[in-house]
Chain A
C-alpha cells in the first residue's frame, strides 16, 4: 500500500503537483525516524535528536528530488533513507571521531544500564501489571538485543532492515544491493542463527 501510494505521489510530482512533493517526503517521516533511532551511535544517542536528523534529511532530499525523478537510481524510500544514513555518518565523524566534546564522558553521565533498556522497561510496565511478567519480558528483550549484537553484520543487517525498520523485501534488497531472492535466503539464514544464539530455552519458554 505504501509503495503504491508512493508511486502515485511520484507521478503527481512529475506532473507538477507541488503539494505532492511535500506529501511524498512527509509520509516517510516516521520510517526515517525509526531508522535513525535504530542506527544512531550509542555515544551520540543522548545528544542527537532523531527529529533533527530526519528534518535535515528530508530537506536535503527535497533539494535533490528533481534529480531523483530524472534518474530513479533506487526505489524511493531506499533513496530517501540514504540522506539520513549519510547524516548519521557525518554526525559520527564530527562528534565521535573528531572528539569535539567528550561523548565518552556524556555516555558515562547517562549511566548504565543504558536508557534504552530503561525505556523498554517503562513500556512493559505500562503494558503489564505483573512484576514477574514484566521482568521476564525485559529479560527476553535483553536476550534478543544481545543475540542480534552477536550476529554477523550481514545477518543482523537483513533482520534489522526487515523487522526493526520494517522495509519490504524490495526495499531491503535495494538497500543491501542484492536481489530479493537473496534477501529471502539471507533472512532465513539469519533467523536460523539468531535462534541458535537465543538458545533452546528461549523458544521453549514461548507461550
Chain B
C-alpha cells in the first residue's frame, strides 16, 4: 500500500471502486439499514479489511447522526461568516458590506499592499461555474479583467483565500 499523502491518516491509494463501495455504504445508512459486513466481505474479498474499518467508522458517525437536533447542535457551525466579516481577507481589509446576491457578497475593502479602496467580490470556494481546473477558472476571470463598460466594474485580479474566492474590482 502506498500512502496517498504524508498525512498519517491516509494509508491507501485512491481507488474509484472502493470509493463507490463506501458511497453505497453511506447510502445504506441513509436509508436506515446497517451495512451487512458479511455480505460485503463475500462480495469484495479484496477490500475486506478496509470496508470493515469504513463500516465501523461510518456506524460511529451514524450513531451521532441519529441523535435529535439538540444533541447535534453546533457539530459543524458555519465558518463562512468568520472570514470576510472578521476584518481581514488576504490582502484586503473589509470595511463594509455593499451588497449580496446568490453568487456571493460584495464588500468595500482596502487593499493593504496598494493602499487603495476596492470593491471586493467574495464567492464561496469552487462555486458550480468554476468547476474544472484552476486554469479554466483563471481564463474565465481574465475576461472581465479586460472588459469595462459604464455599467460594469473592471476586475483587476482574483485569488483564493481560505474558503473564499476573491475578485477585487476598481
Contact = CB atoms under 8 A, between A and B. Distances in A.
A179 B16 CA distance: 13
Contact of B69 (A50, A185, A193, A196): A50
Given A176-B126, A191-B54, A206-B56, A115 B70 contact: yes
Nearest to B53: A195
A119 B67 contact: yes
Interface stretch (B23-31, B106-114, B141-149): B23-31
B46 interface: no
Interface residues of A, number: 68
A200 to B, nearest CB: 10
A18 B73 CA distance: 35
A194 B72 CA distance: 18
B9 interface: yes
B58 interface: yes
B76 A156 contact: yes
Contacts of B7: 193
Chain B interface mostly: loop
Interface residues of B, number: 57
Contacts, number: 180
A89 B63 CA distance: 28
Given A153-B163, A177-B124, A191-B22, A198 B74 contact: no
Interface of B: 4, 7-12, 14, 16, 18-20, 22-23, 26-27, 29-30, 53-54, 56-65, 67-81, 85-86, 100, 102, 124-128, 130-131, 163
Interface of A: 33-34, 37-42, 45, 50, 73-74, 82, 85-86, 88-89, 92-93, 96-97, 114-117, 119-120, 123, 137, 140-141, 144-145, 148, 153, 156-157, 159-160, 162-164, 166, 168-169, 174, 176-179, 181, 183-185, 187-189, 191-198, 202-203, 206
